[in-house]
Structures are given as structure tokens and as C-alpha cells.
A and B are shown apart, each in its own frame.
Chain A
Amino acid sequence: MVTYEHPQLDALGDGTRRAILARLLDGPLPVGELAREFPVSRPAISQHLRVLKDARLVTDRADGTRRVYTLNPDAFESLREYFDQFWNHALAAFKRRVETPSPRASGKKSTAASAKTDQPRTRRR
């Protein structure tokens, strides 16, 4: 559950900041270009970007004299977190299978994957 102290929720609680993030979904942009696209002053844009940066939703880097803002991929860990959990689960199942004595394990060493047997999955006892 999200609490209202959540800095990211606070950062997202503003329409302009949400719109800036939405704009950055298309790719990194320098602050000047963002300022041109939004009907607010450049200092106001900079202030919004600072809030987003403090909330770790965006990162910035220098590009010559410009400062370029990018969505922070770490804020979008969801896909990575999904796989992180998924592989914990899948590899645990793999380990159980490897370490379960298999009726077919003795004497049979096939390296090619075979789809030829359609026998039901063996049940673990």
C-alpha cells in the first residue's frame, strides 16, 4: 500500500510533473526543450524536475551546456523485479527436479531435448 508520505506519490501529485514524465516516456530531453513544450516558465520546469529527481523518477546528465533528463530506469524496476521473483521460483523448481531421483535417469543421457515422450509428469512422492 502506498502511503501519502511516499515521495514518488508526492512527485506525481502534480499534473505538470505527470505530464513531464509522460513526455519523457518518448525519450530523454534537455530542460530547454521541455520548457518550450510546457506553458510554464523555465525556472518552474527546473523546479518540477528537481522534485522528480529527488523522488528518483528521473535522472539528469550534462550534455555540453545542456542538461538532459531521462526517466530513471530504476524507477521502472517492475519488469526486472518480476523476473527476479520469477527466476527464484523457477530455479527452485528446477533444483527440486534435478535432485529428484528420476526413473529415466539411469543409463539415459540424451543431450538433445526430446519431445517424443508424452508420458504424464512424474509425481513427486
Chain B
Amino acid sequence: MDTTTQPTVAAVRKSITVQADPQRAFDVFTAEFDMWWPRSHHIGKSPMKKAIVEGRAGGRLYSEQVDGTDCDWGTVLVWEPPHRFVWAWQISAQWQFEPDLAKASEVEVRFTAVPGGTRVDLEHRHLERHGMDAAAIRTAIDSPNGWGTLLDMYAAEAERRRA
């Protein structure tokens, strides 16, 4: 039974100013992605060796793992150096690669020259595309806090009812 409206989730928006020109900020964000990306953030089965952005529209965001495998997790949607970079965040709520772009969120980053540097505006949007099903809710919030516990309860209830 399909539904009339999908709930939407407000985009996450961040702005920071860095002391560098837009070209350097853009290059660090993309070409030097591996130099700043949190090492723990990959979906490979072994530790991450290197995180890579292929600098062109349609390019991949992927990681090289120490076990020799590559692990895709995104696709470049807009490549406009040094001003704008958009990619599809193709990690499902189950921490798997999501090949379907319709089920991926998007991250847009804009680089604007301001006195003394560059303002970097980031928007992570369409988070609802990652799904609100029971498994998504359960795994997205597996932290041992109150909310996690509450939602666990009700994800369990959902599964009980579906069984």
C-alpha cells in the first residue's frame, strides 16, 4: 500500500570559513580528501588505507582497504572546481553501498571567496531517502542512549507484527 507523502528530514547545513583561497579549499576537500576524512568512516570490511574522490562528474568516491579491495560509497554529481562539488552519499542505513541513487542522500559543498579566506557551505540533504523502515531506524541509532533503546523497542515490535 503506497502512501501519499514521504516524511522529509530537514537537511543538515554547516558553514565554516577557512584561511585559504577557494582553489586550495576545493583541492583539499577533493584531491586531498584522504588527508582529512575521518579514518573511521568507511564501509569496507577491513581498515581503510586511502579515501579517494575521482575529480569529475560521474566519478566515484571510494576507499581502498588494507585487504586490497575497493569500496565504493558515493558518486560525483556536480564537479565545478573551485566553487561547487555535489556527491551522492550511497551508504544505506544498514551501512552497505546503495547503488540506487534514488535511495541516496546528497552532499553539496560550495566554496565562496570572502575577505581573509573562503566560506565553505555544506548541505547534506534528502536524508529521508535512506528510509524510515524498522531496520533503518534500528541500525541508524544503535547508540546505547535512551532514544536508541526506545526505538529498538519499537522496531522489535514492528518485526514481531510483521512475522
Contacts and interface: CB of A to CB of B under 8 A. Distances in A.
Interface of A: 1-2, 6, 8-9, 12, 18-19, 21-23, 25-28, 63, 68, 70-73, 76-80, 82-84, 86-99, 102, 105, 109-115, 118, 121-122
B120 interface: yes
Main secondary structure of the interface of B (DSSP, over half): mixed
Given A22-B161, A112-B55, A94 B36 contact: yes
Which 5 residue pairs spanning A and B have beta carbons closest together?
A: A27-B3, A2-B146, A113-B55, A78-B141, A22-B158
B60 to A, nearest CB: 10
B96 interface: no
Given A90-B36, A90-B38, A113-B55, A18 B154 contact: yes
Given A70-B5, A91-B122, A113-B59, A79 B127 contact: yes
Interface of B: 1-5, 7-10, 12, 14, 16, 18-20, 23-38, 41, 50, 52-56, 59, 81-82, 93, 120, 122, 124, 127-128, 130, 132-134, 136-137, 140-141, 143, 145-151, 153-154, 157-158, 160-161
Contact of B14 (A71, A87, A97, A105): A87
A18 B157 contact: yes
A110 to B, nearest CB: 6
Contact of B2 (A27, A76, A122): A27
Contacts of B128: 73
